[in-house]
């Protein structure tokens, strides 16, 4: 769906592939200029190339969201390049599947990227949007930000934290014209889940985790992000939108 974002500017973190790439491409297809960000420069530049090949506008900015100075530079790049910032999708994150998240280094890394990174991004983005009097921020949480998971304490804790930050931002900036929401994906087919899904037996298990009997597609999450940023969601803020094929309905 084309939301008519001509003249608008969107920023997407974690946009070298998966959900971030799908969202960046979708923003561009709806007319927005896009700032593509990731620590993976090759993947980020590929996302830019995909957007430009389809006639859209995009630039790449390397950014480790766990580094507050790099986040500040990222948002400054959006303003210097395009003069404003209308939409932000704070999507960068890690899932330490197979790792012991009780280990100090894994725990610390998860918090720095998944939680502190979202806070740094929201803080800088809101500063620009406050001057404009309008803006929309969408954070990528997870269904594990709403329900428990016995195997991933850091992932569950950080994604619950993202939902909390989202509600905080929605309340803090509600009267300033800035809406803050989150998407909570279920099991999605992305480069992050690809190693597991490559095993036929594991793929069957992952497909069966949802009542719909399949993994979700990155484009389905992108569609939710764009809707949350659009004027069609003008009265929606502080909401964790679940996109999970019915997994949390069970």
Summarize pLDDT for 69-94 with one digit per residue, the tens: 999 999 999 999 999 999 999 999 99
Q: Is residue 2 part of a domain?
A: no
Query: Is 32 within 8 Å of 87 (Cβ atoms)?
Result: yes
Q: Is residue 65 part of a domain?
A: yes
Q: Is residue 249 part of a domain?
A: no
Q: Model confidence over 96-110: pLDDT tens digits?
A: 877 899 999 999 999
Q: Is the pTM of this model over 0.85?
A: yes
Cα–Cα distances (Å) from 184 to 84, 139, 154, 231, in that order, read: 27, 9, 16, 20
Q: Model confidence over 185-239: pLDDT tens digits?
A: 998 887 777 666 677 777 887 777 788 999 899 999 999 999 999 999 999 999 9
Cα–Cα distances (Å) from 134 to 28, 89, 165, in that order, read: 20, 15, 19
Number of domains, the chain? 1
State which residues form the domain around 99.
Answer: 9-243
Q: Model confidence over 9-47: pLDDT tens digits?
A: 999 999 999 999 999 999 999 999 999 999 999 999 999
How many Cβ atoms are within 10 Å of 108's Cβ, its own excluded? 13
Q: Is residue 4 part of a domain?
A: no
Q: Is residue 14 part of a domain?
A: yes
Q: Is residue 119 part of a domain?
A: yes
Q: Is residue 250 part of a domain?
A: no
Q: Kindly list the catalytic residues.
A: 155
CA atoms within 13 A of residue 218's CA, in its CB half-sphere:
20
Q: What is the pLDDT of residue 189?
A: 86
Give the confidence band of 113 by pLDDT, cuts at 50, 70, 90: very high
Please tell me which residue, 180 or 214, carries the higher pLDDT value: 180
Q: What is the pLDDT of residue 194?
A: 64
CATH number of the CATH domain containing 71: 3.40.50.720
Give the confidence band of 1 by pLDDT, cuts at 50, 70, 90: confident
Q: What is the pLDDT of residue 20?
A: 98
Q: What is the pLDDT of residue 197?
A: 64
Secondary-structure percent of the chain, ordered helix, strand, coil, rounded to 5 = 50, 15, 35
Query: Is 33 within 8 Å of 55 (Cβ atoms)?
Result: no
Q: Residue 141 carries which DSSP code? A: -
Q: What is the pLDDT of residue 207?
A: 77
Q: Is residue 190 part of a domain?
A: yes
């Amino acid at each position: 769906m084309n939301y008519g974002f001509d003249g608008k500017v969107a920023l997407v973190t974690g946009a070298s592939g998966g959900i971030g790439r799908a969202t960046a491409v979708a923003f561009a297809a709806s007319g927005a200029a896009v700032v593509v960000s990731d620590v993976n420069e090759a993947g980020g530049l590929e996302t830019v190339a995909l957007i430009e090949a389809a006639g859209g506008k995009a630039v790449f900015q390397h950014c480790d969201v766990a580094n507050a100075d790099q986040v500040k530079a990222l948002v400054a790049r959006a303003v210097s390049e395009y003069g404003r910032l209308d939409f932000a999708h704070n999507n960068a994150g890690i899932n330490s599947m197979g790792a012991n998240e009780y280990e100090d280094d894994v725990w610390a890394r998860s918090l720095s990227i998944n939680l502190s990174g979202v806070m740094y991004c929201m803080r800088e983005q809101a500063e620009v949007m406050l001057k404009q009097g309008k803006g929309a921020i969408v954070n990528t949480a997870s269904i594990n930000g709403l329900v428990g998971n016995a195997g991933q304490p850091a992932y569950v804790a950080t994604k619950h934290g993202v939902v909390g930050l989202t509600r905080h931002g929605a309340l803090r900036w509600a009267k300033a014209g800035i809406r803050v929401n989150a998407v909570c994906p279920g099991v999605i087919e992305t480069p992050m889940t690809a190693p597991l899904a490559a095993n036929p037996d594991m793929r069957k298990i992952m497909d069966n985790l949802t009542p719909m009997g399949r993994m979700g597609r990155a484009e389905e999450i992108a569609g939710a992000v764009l809707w949350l940023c659009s004027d069609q969601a003008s009265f929606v803020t502080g909401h964790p939108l679940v996109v999970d094929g019915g997994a949390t309905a069970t």
